[in-house]
Structure 1
Amino acid sequence: MTEILERVKKDNIKFVQLQFTDILGVVKSLTIPVHHLESSLKDGTWFDGSSIEGFTRIQESDQFLKPDVSTYAVMPWLTNTARFICDVFTADGDPFEGDPRYILKRAVKEANDMGFELYTGPELEFFLFKKENGKLMPMPHDTAGYFDLTTDEGIKIREQMYDALSAFGINVEALHHEVAVGQHEIDFKYDTAVKTADHAVTLRFVLKAIANMHGLHATFIPKPIAGINGSGMHVHQSLFKGSQNMFFDESKEYMLSDIAMGYIAGILKHIRAIAAVSSPTVNSYKRLVPGYEAPVYLSWARRNRSALIRIPRYSKGNTKATRCEVRCPDPSCNPYLAFALMLKAGLDGIKNKLTPPAPVEEDLFEFTAADLKERNIATMPGSLGEALEEMEKDPLIKETLGDHTYSKYLEAKRAEWDSYRLYVSQWELDRYMEVF
């Protein structure tokens, strides 16, 4: 504790943000004056959990936050302000079962007990939209495409985003314009699951803050504009035992071990149910359609980017890079919960020695319904409502999330789905008003 307090003093910090996420992945923050930090580190800081989505009831609302000192960072756009990501505890001092970070830690512990450490590398795509007089306009801020240079108006903004992310200890590896107009991607280094989930939620609020400084809005909505590519959050993942990548086996096809094959099979087995969390909004299913590079079909392959799970090509000697890339999650999800579910699904495949179907290297978007049926290739859910039905049928989801979060999440998402399906949109009025 002494070391972190000295660092805070050296950084001339006056205010500290204690951050955590609700079950939907929205960052919440409680600010305390720096002279209360020592007691917060020692005993925690109390707050009312009954007002947080998916947390406690009013009669059991007292909870407290314990800062994780490894997540300390000075917030560069605020004056003399730092943040810590916190773990949430009950009034009795137990980890709160509805804390998404705790849910991921619990899944990671199961992997640790089996001798594995999960490493992940999420790639979050996002859009930058213009504002006019402070009001958000549904208009991309540039006309550039994939890796474009001359029409890419986001280069300087991404550089400032890089500087801000670096201040949070996030090791950025690549920044570039994505396929759609106004769309971007910033990738950071592969690391342990809890750390990269922390980085993912941090990246979202950091990018929004920097965009706002330029009069723009950064959004992680999966499909903000009809007719162009949406934003995904491809998640690279592998299991290590010490320094050894347990996914690598030079004697096997694709250099994938039996452990890797079981992991892939487990994800394919459970992914339709996981979708309710990894693709958690009504809008998510407007991205998961054929023709826009988003994976729709339950398959895996090495080169085929239309497959749901892709195996990046092996580079000789680089055994640590052997991994699978799950391409269906999107950046509106709660990374803690999404990582926990994919890990548990993969472990289920390993424990039960599941075998994935044969890889599909053809362009799946060219397949007819008959082709899909002949190859026994299923599809992702077509709507949030369908995904919730799948979630309710798969016991692994409830086991991973725990009774509390499982019921709270379903309750929140059913309400969202009902609100959407009962809403009369402008499209319906334009389409039908004068016809019928």
Structure 2
Amino acid sequence: MTKYKLEYIWLDGNTPVPGLRGKTQLKSFATPPTLADLPLWGFDGSSTLQAEGKSSDCVLKPVALYPDGARKDAYIVMCEVLLASGEAHPSNHRATIVDDPDFWVGLEQEYFLYKDGRPLGFPEGGYPNVPQGPYYCGVGYKYMGGIARQIVEEHLDLCLNAGINHEGINAEVAKGQWEFQIFGKGSAKAADDTWTARYLLLRLCEKYGVDVEFHCKPIKGDWNGSGMHCNFSTKYIREVGGKEYFEALMGAFKDNVKEHIAVYGPDNHLRLTGHHETQSIDKFSYGLSDRGASIRMPINFIKDGYKGYLEDRRPNSEADPYQLVARVLKTIESVPKP
């Protein structure tokens, strides 16, 4: 029998941005455990803004299992939060997602690495000598510094070891800003993987004395904010599509702007200004290869008969992937097929 370290992680009751929590259970198995082998586990909800002290018991329900490359004989266990009655906790937005295995999602998670209260590479009380631009996909100590890439590469290996489907990583436009991209087939898969990847990054940065800043506009002025562009498609969009359906779909997105913005991350008005490759938060537009549109059509989308995938560029880096995915899918399902 081997004793395994099971790191149960979950989203707490903080609003508007839930925080990640985790605690480890040690349990013996004759063979590596599967998701079905893992028990429910209680926790003190009064310490996570999910219950009152007089009735504080909440329950963790394992929903996804990831090998943990940072520890021996260990797994990360993504959990939903339940009430003691067994019902989904009000903060459990994963439980609201309709399961659709044909809904494909790609999330582009941008973030800043911070040390001593400022982005890596920013001097104390000021800005770098070189403005944003050369840092994008850059190389060399002058632009990248000496620790950021080490963190990014180690994080990538941890995610790949966990079975998270990364599609790529790159340095972003601002100094100290980076991005990873995750693709998943199924309504909840990409969201599960993104939350787990965030957890792995936050935990990794502890040993480097570095913080991760997910706020969408941490640096005011002429510096890019951070987004989490959502690339999505359904089986119908990929295989049938058509101009009539596409225009009806865009009409539904336009009619639900407020509902989308409400779950696309806080303070998005600071980022969606119409500058820095964004559309203004109070406008809706779509365009071919237009990075300043709300919805971008990839270059071959029209050529292929209005088929393929679409990119919603409005979600920001702090958005809850569960709420984001649920909202996008709900809007798509509201559109009748011709």
For the aligned pair, the TM-score class normalised by the smaller chain equals 0.7 to 0.9
Q: What residue in structure 1 maps to residue 112 of structure 2? A: 127
1:157–1:61 CA distance, 2 compared to 1 (3 A): closer
Residues 1:170 and 2:173 aligned together:
no
1:30–1:212 CA distance, 2 compared to 1 (3 A): closer
2:212 and 2:321 map into 1 onto residues whose CA distance is 18
Secondary structure in structure 2 of the residue aligned to 1:66: strand
1:46 and 1:25 map into 2 onto residues whose CA distance is 19
8 A Cα contact 2:67 2:163, kept in partner: no
8 A Cα contact 1:173 1:189, kept in partner: yes
TM-fit CA distance, 1:67: 1.6
Which structure dedicates a bigger proportion of its chain to strand? 2
Secondary structure in structure 1 of the residue aligned to 2:79: strand
1:155 and 1:64 map into 2 onto residues whose CA distance is 38
Which structure dedicates a bigger proportion of its chain to helix? 1
TM-fit CA distance, 1:91: 2.8
Aligned AA (2:210): L
Aligned AA (1:124): Q
Q: What residue in structure 2 maps to residue 299 of structure 1? A: 285
2:85 and 2:47 map into 1 onto residues whose CA distance is 19
The gaps in structure 1 that reach 5 residues or longer are 1-5, 354-436
Q: What residue in structure 2 maps to residue 289 of structure 1? A: 273
Q: What residue in structure 1 maps to residue 144 of structure 2? A: 152
2:83 to 90, 95, 101: 90
8 A Cα contact 1:147 1:176, kept in partner: yes
Runs of 4+ in 1 over 4 A off after TM superposition: 35-38, 40-43, 56-60, 315-321
Aligned AA (2:287): A
8 A Cα contact 1:265 1:346, kept in partner: no
TM-fit CA distance, 1:216: 2.7
Secondary structure in structure 2 of the residue aligned to 1:307: coil
Deviations 1:164-213 (A, max 9, x none): 11122112221111111111111123422201001111121222233343
2:24 to 12, 24, 31: 31
1:271 to 240, 243, 257: 257
8 A Cα contact 2:135 2:171, kept in partner: yes
1:340–1:58 CA distance, 2 compared to 1 (3 A): farther
Larger radius of gyration: 1
Residues 1:246 and 2:237 aligned together:
yes
Secondary structure in structure 1 of the residue aligned to 2:158: helix
Aligned AA (1:94): E
Q: What residue in structure 2 maps to residue 179 of structure 1? A: 173
Deviations 1:148-173 (A, max 9, x none): 22333443332211101112211222
Secondary structure in structure 2 of the residue aligned to 1:225: coil
1:97 and 1:128 map into 2 onto residues whose CA distance is 31
1:187–1:60 CA distance, 2 compared to 1 (3 A): same
Aligned AA (1:187): Q
Q: What residue in structure 1 maps to residue 230 of structure 2? A: 235
The gaps in structure 2 that reach 5 residues or longer are 123-129
TM-fit CA distance, 1:272: 2.2
8 A Cα contact 2:254 2:284, kept in partner: yes
1:84 and 1:310 map into 2 onto residues whose CA distance is 35
8 A Cα contact 1:25 1:335, kept in partner: no
Percent of counterpart pairs with the same letter?
Answer: 25
8 A Cα contact 1:25 1:201, kept in partner: no
TM-fit CA distance, 1:265: 2.4
How many residues in Structure 1 have an aligned counterpart in Structure 2?
315
Cα RMSD of the aligned pairs, angstroms, is: 3.2
1:103 to 91, 96, 100: 96
8 A Cα contact 1:301 1:309, kept in partner: yes
TM-fit CA distance, 1:59: 5.6
8 A Cα contact 1:193 1:339, kept in partner: yes
Q: What residue in structure 1 maps to residue 118 of structure 2? A: 138
**What TM-score does the superposition give when structure 2 sets the normalisation length?**
0.81
Pairing 1:313-352 to 2, within 5 Å after superposition: 313-314=299-300, 322-348=308-334, 350-351=335-336
1:188 and 1:307 map into 2 onto residues whose CA distance is 22
Pairing 1:333-412 to 2, within 5 Å after superposition: 333-348=319-334, 350-351=335-336
Deviations 1:289-311 (A, max 9, x none): 12222222311111211110111
